[in-house]
Chains A and B, each alone.
Chain A
Amino acid sequence: MIVYALFVVLTCVGCTNQKQQKMEKSSGQETVIPEQIKILILGDSLTDGYGVSREQAYPAQLEKILQKQGLQVRIINAGSSGSTSASALERLQWHMQAKPDILLLALGGNDGLRGVSITATFENLARTIDLAKANDIRVFLASMKLPYNYGQDYRTSFEGMYERLVQDKDIQAVPFMLEGVGGVKEMNLPDGIHPNEQGHVKIANNMATFFLSELP
């Protein structure tokens, strides 16, 4: 199987799942096929589920929770460990072939940890949001927080950057994903940074509450 072939498959999946509801004739009767919403989560190791299996990472857990609640959603986990916001634009362009309805942008954490300038991160995320919006993709922004050791000034500027993006780009912010997970020993891997299985369940629940209130 090759990537080229997959593009085709994904594109076709995208084609058959249009945003509007489809009607299909079956035994002379019209059946309503529920709308499937495709959520693309563009993120880093947090989304990738570093150290846990992909099925146990929060995107897969979130999909299950939302589906249980009757929402026809498909979540594309576009998490890549170690990635910075600089990669966001190219990666979104690649995933656009799957025609996502929603983009959850969960990047910037590694920028902060590496001390990348706030301006550069802002511009990277802004360009990505612009591309999504230009393609009628609804954008949610997951803001990140930095550990205290990075210093108050940098932390404040870093968190402020997400607020500015939400305002400037008129998009919606999702609540802090790691609420109840960050800094809690039982929720993290031994490295103290990445969530463990329990942590991913908690993140998925945090996100589910938000999406259930936001999605039709």
Chain B
Amino acid sequence: MKLILHYALKELIHNRKFSIFFIANLSVGLFAFVTLFGFQSSLTRTLSEKSKKLLGADLGVSARRPLQVDEVKVVENELGLNFKKTHLLETYSMVRSVRGQSRLFQIKAIEDNYPFYGQLTVSNQSDQAISRLFDNGVDNVVWVYPEVLLQLEIKVGDVLLIGEQTFTIEGVINNDETRGMTSDFAPRIYMSITKLLDTGLVRPGSLVWYSTLYQINSAQRVDALQKRIFAAMDQPDIRVFTHQDSSQQMARLMNLLSDFLGLAAMVALFLAAVGLYFLFQTFLHQRHKQYSILMTLGVSYAQTVGLVVFQVFVLGLIGSLLSLLMAWSILPMSIGLIAGMLPFDLAFGFDWKMIAYGLALGVVGSIAICLPVLSQLKDVQLNTLLQEQPIRHQNTTLLYKGLMVGNMLLFWMCSMVVANSVKVGSLFFMLFVSSMALLAILAKGFFQSMESIVLLPNIVPLRWAWKDITRNQFVTMTSFLSIGLGVVLLNLIPQVQKTLDVQLQMPSESKIPSLFLFDIQPEQVAPLQEILASMDQSLLLLTPMVRARLQSVNDQPFEKRKEKALTREEERESRFRNRGMNLTFQDQLKASERVVKGVFFDRPYVPNTNTLPEISLEKRFAKRLNIQMGDKLTFTVESIPVEGVVTSLRTVQWTTFEPNFFIIFQPGVLEKAPKTFLAAANVEDQDMKNQLQNTIVHSLPNISVLDVSRVVAQLKSIMDQMAKALQAMAFLCLLAGVMVLYLIANYHTRLRQKDIGLLKALGASFGLIQKTFLWQFGLIVWFACLSGVGISMILSIVLSHFIFESMYVFSWVSPLITLTVGALVMMGIIYMAIAKTLKVSVVELLTRV
């Protein structure tokens, strides 16, 4: 045994080129995988930490009433013993300044241990200042958002009348990490709970959110806890929420990136697997005689397999350790670059999961990939020693097929782990398998068409190449499949990236809104425009909004009557259906909208015709309500029925930050209905923004102005950097892809060495041999590349649609580059390999295998 192991290691050292290639291929593939997987899990972890900051806690419960003792007990029983808690009261109140001005503000009352995560940065950030907020012995003090000072035209140290008490402004909040990615209806004032209770604002009949926030110091999953508490608590008015709920908008963005990274990681892994397979095929091909000799000398089949498995184990271990080392040394730097682009610090660290996956895939994966090839050792017999013919291994044995199926299952499992979803992982896997099947069909078609062609131009190398292709079906088929698959994977990532890039594109700075204005009455449109014009500003958009209720779909009632006790889920659905909807009307699609089904109306509705007005619905909204194309919808606008038929479904590119509506009516129907307008403006200067808000409050007081600039800036920054991250990841996949293409080309040239030797022996000139093989490989490479590019485009359409829920964006650039550069690079490699082979003597070539 010791002797065999010694022999195995010696052989690896002797076959240095193979060992280096094996390790390099595995390292690059695994490095890409570990990097992408690591980045993905870092992102998830960072997002989790960020979302904890947004909530300031892990989990919370709240209601518009104080929680009862038994209700709190239910929550805390589920949490166990290891937690901390803090209370929070939130309400709105009219607050008056010493000057007599009063405005509506949000009051957030806290305890001194708030928040558990993140922090509030106050202008006067001394320990004394912080403790003063909670010190009952001193004067009442508050911390305020800067907007409070601007709106009331006051300064720090001034006094505010809140309820029945006066408060001194102690500090201004510079940064509130618990603010979340939403725009508050009114600026916020912080005070202590005890002080709020003294104001007289909190009493039965007050609208107050009572929350208890928890920090959980155990390893329990917050989403599982949330479910358990929700199930144990039978009160529909109590909300149970986790930090994950508080960052949904950001989570949506990050999910997009995470899914892309998962896909890229899978592609990198698959590329590495394909590369390893061909490399090992080459290796086994070369070592065939050695194994024959070993087995002749008395080494059993099992021992021979064990020897090779040991070799693969060693190489796999070295390869995976190297990839982890590369990741460990390079990643903090590369992640640092990407993290610097993100609006928050990306906490990157090696975790046990990443190391375990790296090692397991490197070692177990390598062995698993090599096993089907190894099963061919069964063919090895003594007589092969005496044969001069190269051995064509049989890939059709039951064992080989079984091991290949096992490999596919392993890959499927990996897909699900990386995608972190059975559905998404399975879709990745199915698409890869389908593309292989499609390639096989195309390859078969390729053969048949080759065989049927009888008239060929009288070019000798071409004729020879033609005959060779039709004669060596095994080589041609594997070449075609491997090249095609490599190109599919290589072109897939840039294609999907392009689609996502377009989704992340934003309008120019001047068209991004900073203010949203609601409840604009028709007669207020002109005065509002005048106010803006007086400040050299204008509205970015003005959209009519008609409030309506969806009464019936195809004459079947849509609203739910509550006549019996409903489950909480049924009740939620019932309330959703009975809430009313916002309709709008427009004669053309906005830049952010795209029709995915049907046709958008291009002319106003003509009354007194036998047709119904047309309606366009947002695709996801229609899906949620189970409304199909052609359905008749009956709305009521303040009791007046309005009917229409669904003639188109749209997707909305929400990154434009334009207000979008789920339901759009054809013009000519709702114009006279009672409506308000929704508007957006881009006012960048803060002073001008304040001035505009103050003018609107005085002249058009019902209009609510929402400052969205902070949220928009935050989202914009994330999207900008996401686009860069996508590019970086696509590049990493490209590297792995080029490496694999090289290995494939190398493998196939090696397979033909014997034929080259024969041609040389027959006296064919170097030029003729070179041309013959270039023709032969050229035909295979170009057709395989073309097929690969085509299939990758189909794949990216499917992925864009199902995983990224985006419209596929067609671009010639990426497929054209993959096709030409990929094919030319492969041809170059083949050319060099042939040139190198031609330099080897005929005798050596003929005795090599």
Q: Which residues of A contact B (CB under 8 A)?
A: 1-7, 10, 48-56, 76-87, 90-91, 94-95, 111, 113-117, 120, 124, 147-154, 182-183, 185, 189-193, 196-197
Question: Is B232 close to A, CB under 8 A?
Answer: no
Docked CA distance A143–B114 (Å): 40
Out of B205, B636, B672, name the residue touching A94 (CB < 8 Å): B672
Out of A5, A7, A48, A193, name the residue touching B549 (CB < 8 Å): A48
Indicate if the CB atoms of B96 and A56 lie closer than 8 Å: no
Interface residues of B in 635-684 (CB under 8 A from A): 636-643, 668-670, 672-674, 676
Interface residues of B in 700-721 (CB under 8 A from A): 701-702, 704
Out of B95, B200, B639, name the residue touching A77 (CB < 8 Å): B639
Distance (whole angstroms) from the CB of B634 to the closest CB of chain A: 8
Indicate if the CB atoms of B94 and A154 lie closer than 8 Å: yes
Indicate if the CB atoms of B575 and A1 lie closer than 8 Å: no
Instruction: Take A81-B580, A90-B521 as given contacts and tell me if A53 and B560 are in contact as well, using a CB distance cutoff of 8 Å.
Output: yes
**Interface size bracket, B side:** 35 or more
Most buried by B among A48, A79, A115, A197: A115
In the complex, what residues of A have CB within 8 A of residue B636's CB?
A: 54
Instruction: Take A5-B608, A55-B561, A116-B701 as given contacts and tell me if A185 and B65 are in contact as well, using a CB distance cutoff of 8 Å.
Output: yes
In the complex, what residues of A have CB within 8 A of residue B668's CB?
A: 2
Interface residues of B in 60-119 (CB under 8 A from A): 63-65, 91-96, 102-104, 107
In the complex, what residues of A have CB within 8 A of residue B670's CB?
A: 3
Indicate if the CB atoms of A3 and B91 lie closer than 8 Å: no
Instruction: Take A54-B549, A56-B561, A116-B701 as given contacts and tell me if A153 and B103 are in contact as well, using a CB distance cutoff of 8 Å.
Output: no
9 A-B pairs with C-beta separation under 8 A: A51-B578, A52-B562, A53-B559, A77-B639, A85-B702, A120-B702, A148-B205, A154-B94, A193-B207
Question: Is B605 close to A, CB under 8 A?
Answer: yes
Indicate if the CB atoms of A94 and B674 lie closer than 8 Å: yes
Distance (whole angstroms) from the CB of B231 to the closest CB of chain A: 17
In the complex, what residues of B have CB within 8 A of residue A55's CB?
A: 559, 561
Question: Is B551 close to A, CB under 8 A?
Answer: yes
Indicate if the CB atoms of A114 and B704 lie closer than 8 Å: yes
Docked CA distance A126–B273 (Å): 78
Interface residues of B in 190-209 (CB under 8 A from A): 200-208
The 8 closest A-B CB pairs, nearest first, are: A115-B104, A192-B64, A86-B702, A190-B237, A154-B94, A149-B206, A53-B559, A148-B206
Distance (whole angstroms) from the CB of B312 to the closest CB of chain A: 61
Docked CA distance A194–B560 (Å): 17
Interface residues of B in 550-586 (CB under 8 A from A): 551, 559-562, 575, 578-580
Docked CA distance A152–B205 (Å): 13
Distance (whole angstroms) from the CB of A198 to the closest CB of chain B: 10
Distance (whole angstroms) from the CB of A62 to the closest CB of chain B: 14
Docked CA distance A76–B640 (Å): 9
Distance (whole angstroms) from the CB of B119 to the closest CB of chain A: 27
Indicate if the CB atoms of A5 and B607 lie closer than 8 Å: yes
Q: Is the interface of B mostly helix, strand, loop or mixed?
A: loop
Question: Is B630 close to A, CB under 8 A?
Answer: no
Distance (whole angstroms) from the CB of B354 to the closest CB of chain A: 43
In the complex, what residues of B have CB within 8 A of residue A49's CB?
A: 578
Indicate if the CB atoms of B579 and A191 lie closer than 8 Å: no
Closest to A52 in B: B578
Question: Is B547 close to A, CB under 8 A?
Answer: yes
Q: A48-B580, A152-B163 are in contact. List 14 more A-B contacts (CB 8 A).
A: A3-B637, A4-B672, A6-B640, A87-B674, A115-B102, A120-B701, A149-B201, A149-B207, A150-B92, A151-B94, A151-B201, A153-B96, A191-B237, A192-B207
Indicate if the CB atoms of A3 and B521 lie closer than 8 Å: no
Closest to A60 in B: B639
Distance (whole angstroms) from the CB of B581 to the closest CB of chain A: 10
In the complex, what residues of B have CB within 8 A of residue A197's CB?
A: 562
Distance (whole angstroms) from the CB of A59 to the closest CB of chain B: 9
Docked CA distance A35–B201 (Å): 49
Interface residues of B in 136-164 (CB under 8 A from A): 162-164
Docked CA distance A93–B473 (Å): 83
In the complex, what residues of A have CB within 8 A of residue B523's CB?
A: 90
Distance (whole angstroms) from the CB of B567 to the closest CB of chain A: 14
Docked CA distance A196–B674 (Å): 26
In the complex, what residues of A have CB within 8 A of residue B640's CB?
A: 3, 6, 10
Question: Is B236 close to A, CB under 8 A?
Answer: yes
Docked CA distance A185–B636 (Å): 29
Distance (whole angstroms) from the CB of A91 to the closest CB of chain B: 4
Docked CA distance A49–B670 (Å): 22
Distance (whole angstroms) from the CB of A47 to the closest CB of chain B: 9
Interface residues of B in 709-753 (CB under 8 A from A): none
Out of B200, B605, B701, name the residue touching A152 (CB < 8 Å): B200
Docked CA distance A94–B608 (Å): 21
Contact bitstring B48-65, A, C-beta under 8 A = 1, else 0: 000000000000000111
Indicate if the CB atoms of A81 and B702 lie closer than 8 Å: no
Distance (whole angstroms) from the CB of A110 to the closest CB of chain B: 8
Indicate if the CB atoms of B163 and A151 lie closer than 8 Å: yes
In the complex, what residues of B have CB within 8 A of residue A124's CB?
A: 702
Indicate if the CB atoms of B578 and A2 lie closer than 8 Å: no
Most buried by A among B94, B95, B547: B94
Docked CA distance A4–B640 (Å): 11
Question: Is B524 close to A, CB under 8 A?
Answer: yes
Question: Is B828 close to A, CB under 8 A?
Answer: no
In the complex, what residues of B have CB within 8 A of residue A5's CB?
A: 607-608
Interface residues of B in 5-47 (CB under 8 A from A): none
Indicate if the CB atoms of A114 and B104 lie closer than 8 Å: yes
Closest to B641 in A: A1
Closest to B518 in A: A82
Out of A76, A151, A185, name the residue touching B639 (CB < 8 Å): A76
Indicate if the CB atoms of B205 and A154 lie closer than 8 Å: no
Instruction: Take A2-B607, A2-B642 as given contacts and tell me if A87 and B676 are in contact as well, using a CB distance cutoff of 8 Å.
Output: yes
Docked CA distance A185–B107 (Å): 23
In the complex, what residues of A have CB within 8 A of residue B162's CB?
A: 151
Docked CA distance A83–B578 (Å): 17
Out of A7, A78, A111, A150, name the residue touching B94 (CB < 8 Å): A150
Indicate if the CB atoms of A56 and B562 lie closer than 8 Å: yes
In the complex, what residues of B have CB within 8 A of residue A115's CB?
A: 92, 94, 102-104, 186
Docked CA distance A185–B204 (Å): 11
Docked CA distance A77–B91 (Å): 31
In the complex, what residues of A have CB within 8 A of residue B642's CB?
A: 1-3, 6
Indicate if the CB atoms of B674 and A2 lie closer than 8 Å: no
Docked CA distance A55–B636 (Å): 12
In the complex, what residues of B have CB within 8 A of residue A196's CB?
A: 562
Question: Is B484 close to A, CB under 8 A?
Answer: no
Out of B92, B559, B561, B605, name the residue touching A149 (CB < 8 Å): B92
Docked CA distance A86–B93 (Å): 22
Distance (whole angstroms) from the CB of B352 to the closest CB of chain A: 43
Indicate if the CB atoms of A6 and B208 lie closer than 8 Å: no
Question: Is B468 close to A, CB under 8 A?
Answer: no
Contact bitstring B597-632, A, C-beta under 8 A = 1, else 0: 000000001011000110000000000000000000
Docked CA distance A91–B524 (Å): 14
Indicate if the CB atoms of A149 and B521 lie closer than 8 Å: no
In the complex, what residues of B have CB within 8 A of residue A153's CB?
A: 94, 96, 102
Most buried by A among B102, B549, B605: B549
In the complex, what residues of B have CB within 8 A of residue A56's CB?
A: 561-562
